[in-house]
Amino acid sequence: ATARLHPLPLLVGALFATYYHLLVAPAPSYYQSLFLSLGSNDTAAAHLRALTVRPHLAGTEANALAADHVVSTLSSLSFPTRVTPYEVLLSYPVGRSLSLSAPGRDATAFALVQDTYPGDPYAAASAEVVPTFLAYAASGSAAAEVVYANYGRREDYAYLASRGVNVTGKVALARYGKVYRGDIVKNARDAGAAAAVIFTDPKDYTPGKAFPDGPWMPPTGVQVGSTFKGVGDPTTPMWASSEGCERVSVAKAMSTHDMPGIPALPVSGRDGEEILRLVGGDVAPEDWQGGDGAPVYRLGPGPAVLNLTYTGNETIATIQNVISVIEGKEEPDRYVILGNHRDAWTFGAADPNSGTAALLEVWHIQLLYVTPLF
């Protein structure tokens, strides 16, 4: 025991390991550069084009076709591939409307449409884009004065309360950023709001030239997405949505605390600023204000009034997991999992299909350079 604990062998081992890592083993950046050099932008771009030629919302035919592209690509590379379907609760918009009014002013109805741009090659396919909405928002209507709630965080509502601004029964107007949109709506509900509207503030999302002249959010651009705060399928909380499995009812799933519980809509930066021009009350703090050219943001409530209606359809629909497996020779019972989601709220060129295209290219590299080593 004494010999085994002698410090000299330990010292020699430590020196050898240090020598190897400093002088022999390549730096991590070497492997990164090597890996990136093996890929092809051309094939990745071709995958991205195929995946994003149409909008492909979860549960739609277009998203099933995107799954088919992934299957055919992996199968063509001779990797064992299978498709596993799941029945899950998804949310789609049926109807929505939003109008703005104030004393002495006629009501203005918002179009709630994202404009295409001249020469847009995808203008025709844009007709398939789902109307702007917040998935799993409660169906219902509210007509009430507007309260501006900054980023819709708990501390923002605490500040409003400290200033004597009552949110109860009002329509909370908040901007994207800082926290998840589901938390923005939930915090509005917890503060007593009857409904919530979330806008994309140009201060945060258009710091430079807007698309198509630059990469930033255009004036009518709207962020859509989920407001569900749970994990997985809402009707199978914490277990898999496999065929024939036990489920809670849709009504029960929609009534949990993980759901927003009030009607809510997303709007563009242009629409958000139009609302704020009619909001009165005390001037909001400096860090609640917008960017250059924006109106002065005030806390409210009123005199601006928003009349909001949203009707959603929460329904069980089919989605597909595409799974491909390479079994290693050593420790085949252990897993390294690579993946990303494939469905998109619209075309999905950035989120998520830049990841899908890169993942398919990884499998191509695996076939050409790694698999032959096994």
For 350-365, how does the pLDDT look when each residue is reduced to its tens digit (9 = 90+)? 999 999 999 998 888 8
Of the given ranges (33-47, 96-110, 276-290), which has the lowest mean pLDDT?
Answer: 33-47
Q: Which residue has the higher pLDDT, 178 or 336?
A: 178
In tens, the pLDDT along 290-309 reads: 999 999 999 999 999 999 99
pLDDT at 368: 66
In tens, the pLDDT along 229-257 reads: 999 999 999 898 988 899 999 999 999 99
pLDDT at 17: 55
pTM for the complete prediction? 0.87
Residue 185 has pLDDT above 90, yes or no: yes
What mean pLDDT do residues 275-289 have? 97
Q: Which residues contact 310 (CB under 8 A, 6 or more apart)?
A: 93, 95, 96, 133, 137, 138, 139, 140, 141, 263, 264, 265
Pairing of strands 81-102, 305-324: antiparallel
Give yes or no for a contact between 313 and 94, defined as CB atoms under 8 angstroms apart.
yes
d(C-alpha 59, C-alpha 86), whole Å:
10
In the chain, where the domains are located:
30-80+325-371, 88-116+129-316
Name the average pLDDT for the chain: 90
Residue carrying structure tokens 């004494």: 2
d(C-alpha 164, C-alpha 36), whole Å:
56
Residue 317 binned pLDDT confidence (cut-offs 50, 70, 90):
very high
d(C-alpha 283, C-alpha 117), whole Å:
35
In tens, the pLDDT along 195-220 reads: 999 999 999 999 999 999 999 999 99
Task: Select from 3.40.1350.10, 3.50.30.30, 1.20.1600.10, 3.40.50.150 the CATH code of 88-116+129-316.
Answer: 3.50.30.30
Residue 5 has pLDDT above 60, yes or no: no
Structure tokens at 45: 């771009």
Residue carrying structure tokens 């930066």: 269
pLDDT at 4: 47
Give per-residue burial for 158-193: e unless 16+ CB within 10 Å, then b.
ebbeeeebebeebbbbbbbbebebbbbbbbbbebeb
Q: How many CA atoms lie within 13 A of 228 on its CB side?
A: 18
d(C-alpha 261, C-alpha 189), whole Å:
7
pLDDT at 63: 96
Structure tokens at 73: 């690509």
Q: Which amino acid is at 271?
A: D
Q: Which residue has the higher pLDDT, 98 or 2?
A: 98
